[in-house]
Every structure is written in C-alpha cells, then in structure tokens.
Amino acid sequence: MRRDPRYLVGATVALFAGAAIASSPAAATPCTNLQSLQLQYTKITSATDNTTGTFLVPGSPPTPITGLPPFCRVTATLVPSSDSNIQIEVWLPEGGWNGRFLGTGGGGFQGQITYTELAAGLKAGFAATNSDLGTGSSGCNPLYCGSSGNMGNALAIDFGDPAAPTTGLFGHPERIKDFGYRAIHLMTVQGKEIANAFYGKRAQRAYFAGCSTGGQNALMEAQRFPNDYDGILAGAAAFNRTHLHMAGLYGWQNTHASAGRFIQAGQMTLINQAVLKQCVGQDGGASTDQFLTDPRDCRFDPKVLLCTGGQMPPACLTADQVTTMQKYYAGTIDPVNGQVINPGSERGNETDDLLALGLAFQERLPEPAFDGLFYWVFGPSFGYPSSSVNFANFDFHHAVDTVDDQLAAVLNATSTDLSDFRGHGGKLLMYHGWADPLIPSQSSINYFNALVGNEGRGVQQAGFGNGGNPALARTQTYARLFMVPGMYHCSGGPGPNTFDALTPLLNWVETGTPPETILATKFVADTPPAVQMTRPLCVYPKVAKYNGSGSTSIAANFTCVTDEIDYNQTPAPKYGP
C-alpha cells in the first residue's frame, strides 16, 4: 500500500497527550461571512462551518480525522508575488477558544496541508493554521520536489515519487522564497487577521510548533520575524537546509560507490545491536535500555563486525560495508580540504525501519529522496548521469558553493542573533531525537551552543557545576533544548518518544516558569494507552541518570544531572553552526 508522505516527515511530537464538511446553511454565519474578508495578498477561497465532528483528509482513499469540536474552516490562497501560490488553512473553534493562536509546520518540501497538526491544535482550543509553503503549485510533496522520476522503483513509487522527471522550483525564485520563509510569515499575519475577524478580538498569545521543516520554519520565524510569536517550539530543525540536503546526497553516494558498499536488509539492526552491546548504560541510562541516553559517549567502531573465517553477510560486515558505516558516522566531508559540511550520524540511530527515513530507506531509492533541492539550482540535468553535475557525481568541493550562492541566504535559518525575539519576551523551546536517522542529532546542539556562544563562553568552554556557566544561564532565560533518547526523526524509535512539549512552552511564556524536565512516554507498540516506560527529558546539557534502584521503566527513578563536557562535531564555520 502506498504510504502517504504527509505522515512520514516532520509530524510534531504529541502536542497534547475535500472533506466531511457540514452543508452551508441558507443564512450567513460568522464563519461564512469570512468569505468576503479583504486582506493583502489574500484570496479567501472558502469559509465553512463544520459541525460533524469529522474531517476527511483529501487523498485516495480519504483519511478521517474524528473527535473534532465544531469549527470554522477557512481556506485561502496567498499571492505575495506574481509567481506565488501559497495555500493556507485556518481552523477556528466555534466554542471553547482558549484565546491563543497556533501556527503549525509540516515536513520535507511540504506541498500540502498537514491536517493532523490543524486537528491537534483545534482539539486543544487553539485557532490553528497551516500552509503548503507554496510548493504545491510545483507538484511537490514532502519527500520530492524535483526528481528524475521513480524509474520503476517500487519503494519510490510507494513513497510518492512521480513517474516522470520534474524540476520542482527550478526557475521559480519567488516560490523558493515562499518555501524558505515567506509562506509561514504571511500565513501567520493573515491567519491572525482571519481569527480576529471571526472572534472580534485578537489572540492573547501566539505560538508556533513544528518539527523537521516545521523546525526550520520555527527558527526562521524567530530570526526573521521575531514579533510573530510569543513562544516557538522547534523540533529536529532542518535549519541548515542546503548542507543537510548535501548530507543526503553524500549518504546515497556512499552506499552506491560500489556494489559491495550497499548495506543489506537486516544489517542496520545488526549494527544497532552491536552499538547497544558496547555502549548502553554508559551515558547515564539503564543497562536494560534499548537506546542510548547520550550517544556522544559511544566510541563504537563498525570494524568489530568485520566478517572473519567462514562468516558471510548479512551476519557480519564486509570491509566495504565497514567503510560505508565509518563514513556514515564521520559526516559529510569536503574531499579536498577535509572540512565538515554537515555532521555525521550518531551511534544508536541505525534502523531497518524504512519509515524512519534513514540509510536503509535512502539507499534503496534510484536517487536520493531529498535531492529535489538541487534541481532548483541545476535544473533537469541534475537527474541525468551524463551531465556535468548530477545526483551521482555531485562534487562536495566545487559544487557546494554553487548551491549555497543561490539558496543559502533564502533557505538556511542559521542566524544566531535572536536579540529581537528575546527582547519582546519570546521563548524558544527546541527538541531533537538522539536516534534521528535523517537529521543529525547534534545539529540542534550546535545551534543551541552557538546561542550560548553569543552570550560569552560556549557550552564547551566551561563546566556547569561549581559556579556554572553564566552564558548558558543567560541563554536559558529565553532558549532551552531537550534531547530525546531513542527517538527517531520527530517521532518513533525505541525510546520514550511521546511527550507534550507545547504546554511547558505555554507555561514558560505565560507564567515565567522555565521547563527543567519534560515527561516522555514509550507506549507498547507505540500505541496508547498501554505504557511501556516513562523517562524524564532533561534540559540540555543535563542528562537523565538512573538512581540505581527501582524499575527502569518509571521516570521517578531517574534524576537529571549535570553531564560531562562532550565533543560535538561541528561544521566548518562557513557551513555552520
């Protein structure tokens, strides 16, 4: 069965532990009256009451979302340039509005509305909004926005790769701006106006929550439009966009360098078990954990799995496969000067689960899943092996600057100057899964450390006990990071991967109480209500340490403690933070 990519890339983690729409009544309602609302750059295309409790997410077949309160659904098209075509939706509770506005993000190249985020916000009482980022008009979906076509590859077809070559946003610089920063900002501005017109008063507070591309949107808002939101939740942020996509190319080339470099089915699980055998529990976690609490303490070398005697893959690794995994951990490297372009993958994120969008997924595709971004620069030739620059021969010394010169200023949310955001009282809460196989976990640490560096001594330059780190303390007055042991990209994984990060953000903004811990839950088979374990998520740089007695499945038996200073692989300054 074809998997809908909307649910695979960047779903926000557990904000709270053509559609089934009621027919328009004959008389106008406060909702239907919004159809005539006039806003800059905006055409409201529908405003409809939904009192059925159900919404059918467009698709084949449509997917029902149930348990919804009565709401006003507004759809609109934003046209800030002659080539823009940004779709947004605003869902407005018709009763029980909590007085807050919630902007939500999506994943990958988006290209469609993420209805699950709208529904989560609506159920919690928010006036919620979401956008396709303006890429839907170019035929994009979360995984593909430029492609040489699925080439008959069953997995590519299953995950929505179009059959024929496409170039995504090539030749559309205004749509690239929309994707990079403009769509979310205008969604926010106009979404607030729509809510104001509906309720007759402005929202008391505004929040944004997103993961992956939604995390990039979150940081871009804090950097470029600091007054849009009072509180911002940024998960696994794809903020270093151009270099992150280069890492995808690098990983695909790594496993396709020769037939022997390919990692076979089941071998990622084999490697993960070897990692756990060597490193589990050494980082403060329990010896029974199936994940690492802080994988930076792990020095696993895949050479220990090298085939010897009569051993054969997949029960062991060939020398070529050892090379593949060493490069996997080492990061994206300029082959000429050795500079790090993007950090490597952390030990403990190895998985054969294709839905995790890691190496096991990427290597089985005819071309890298997220290489659409490079079609925006090089055009259709990027998909042809005979061309000078394509997905199979991309030059990580010469071609990097070509991409950055065209895209970095628009797509990369790498500024660490959040003084304006902090100045108006804004709060930033970041999180990232330690077992993320798609976006290197330490990318978020690198961004947070750079914020600390702006305040004085960086996290790596001073300890946290015996006087502490004043720069860290100043940063934590407005920005905090929580690393999630054993969580994949935005969700899933063997660790405690379900948690409410939005409520602590609301409390921080509205009561001035900064979060020290967040309770995370691992459900049996990742399906509520049966609980497998709970664990505290600790404000970085603290880690959860087992107290030594009691069940390791109960959060109360762990304490957040000061961690030793660990090494973070950082990009070269020109590619950072």
Domains in the chain and their CATH numbers? 5-17+37-239 (3.40.50), 245-390 (no CATH)
Report the pLDDT value the prediction gives residue 61, as an integer from 0 to 100: 87
- For this structure, is 436 an active site residue? yes
Contact between 65 and 44 (Cβ < 8 Å): no
Q: Pick the catalytic residue: 294, 404, 436, 563?
A: 436
Contact between 136 and 206 (Cβ < 8 Å): no
- For this structure, is 256 an active site residue? no
Reading the block at residue 208, the tokens are 């944004």
Please give the distance of CA 117 from its chain centroid, rounded to a whole number: 13
User: Measured between alpha carbons, how far is 400 from 405 in angstroms, rounded to an integer?
Assistant: 9
Reading the block at residue 344, the tokens are 């490597």
User: Measured between alpha carbons, how far is 494 from 523 in angstroms, rounded to an integer?
Assistant: 10
- Taking only the tens place, the pLDDT of each residue in 431-462 is 999 999 999 999 999 999 999 998 875 555 44
- Taking only the tens place, the pLDDT of each residue in 17-72 is 433 333 334 468 999 999 999 999 999 999 999 999 999 999 878 999 999 999 99
Q: Pick the catalytic residue: 489, 491, 500, 563?
A: 489
- For this structure, is 420 an active site residue? no
pLDDT for 7 beyond 80: no
- Taking only the tens place, the pLDDT of each residue in 238-273 is 999 999 999 999 999 999 999 999 999 999 999 999
Task: Quickly count helices (H) and strands (E) in the chain.
Answer: 15, 18
Residues whose CB falls within 8 Å of the CB of residue 312, separated by 6 or more in sequence, listed in order: none
Could you tell me the pLDDT band of residue 484, with boundaries at 50, 70 and 90?
very high
User: How does the average pLDDT of the chain come out, rounded?
Assistant: 93
- The CB-side HSE value for 177 (13 A sphere, CA atoms) comes to 13
Q: Pick the catalytic residue: 212, 441, 443, 444?
A: 212
Provide the β-strand partners of residue 407: none
User: Measured between alpha carbons, how far is 337 from 360 in angstroms, rounded to an integer?
Assistant: 29
Contact between 352 and 268 (Cβ < 8 Å): yes
